[in-house]
């Protein structure tokens, strides 16, 4: 669809995500890790957080490999907040199933939301478990990201709770699937658009 349309679409995803998030009565602080490292990025997300009245702490994502970035995020939040429970997801899921997400008091439990592409769209865990992203060994064995993460969680003697399968949007087919899914969910009443 081209860079311009893709950029506009992802901006719409982010706005939809923030708007739906703002309607949930959670007393949380939101840590948002964005790119690129420009003043414009900071202004964009602080404008959104003010518009939707979210208590947001913005940080630039470090320039590391993807799973090293996730580990860094967990370490950063642990340094700032101590034993916090982290809900980790992306903003490329305009119909994100917030109703599935629960806090977990058990420090030895990790919650995974499997993605249709073999990864995961959601991970919930206590902040001191940054080692769960050390999955390179399992990836080299040919495991999917989801399976590699689950194996690493088990290797650390932690428990895994699996929630419903969902998906983010990485390509045009994902977008078509999301539009179809959203229509079906609204029709069946599983998801309400005005959360």
Report helix, strand or coil for 60: strand
pLDDT class of 184 with cuts at 50, 70, 90 = low
pTM to 2 decimals? 0.85
What is the predicted pLDDT for the residue at 188? 44
What is the predicted pLDDT for the residue at 189? 44
CA distance 78 to 72: 10
Report helix, strand or coil for 162: strand
pLDDT class of 195 with cuts at 50, 70, 90 = very low
Return the sign of the alpha-carbon dihedral for residues 34, 39, 40, 43.
Answer: positive
- What is the average pLDDT score of the chain? 86
Q: Is the pLDDT of residue 102 over 50?
A: yes
| Structural domains present in the chain | 3-188 (3.90.550.10)
Q: Is the pLDDT of residue 29 over 80?
A: no
CA-closest candidate to residue 151, choices 161, 143, 142, 140: 143
Mean pLDDT within 149-164: 95
């Amino acid at each position: 669809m081209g860079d311009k349309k893709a950029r506009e679409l992802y901006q719409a995803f982010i706005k939809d995500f923030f708007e739906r998030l703002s309607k949930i009565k959670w007393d949380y602080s939101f840590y948002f890790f964005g790119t690129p490292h420009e003043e414009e990025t900071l202004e964009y997300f602080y404008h959104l957080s003010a518009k939707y009245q979210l208590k947001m702490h913005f940080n630039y994502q470090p320039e590391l490999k993807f799973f090293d970035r996730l580990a860094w995020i967990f370490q950063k939040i642990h340094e700032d907040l101590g034993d916090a429970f982290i809900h980790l997801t992306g903003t490329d899921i305009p119909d994100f199933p917030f109703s599935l997400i629960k806090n977990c008091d058990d420090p030895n439990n990790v919650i995974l939301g499997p993605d249709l592409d073999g990864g995961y769209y959601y991970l919930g865990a206590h902040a001191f478990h940054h080692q769960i992203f050390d999955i390179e060994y399992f990836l080299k064995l040919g495991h999917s990201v989801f399976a590699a993460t689950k194996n690493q969680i088990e290797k650390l003697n932690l428990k895994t709770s699996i929630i419903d399968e969902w998906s983010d949007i990485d390509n045009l087919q994902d977008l078509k699937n999301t539009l179809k899914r959203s229509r079906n969910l609204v029709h069946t009443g599983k998801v309400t658009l005005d959360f």
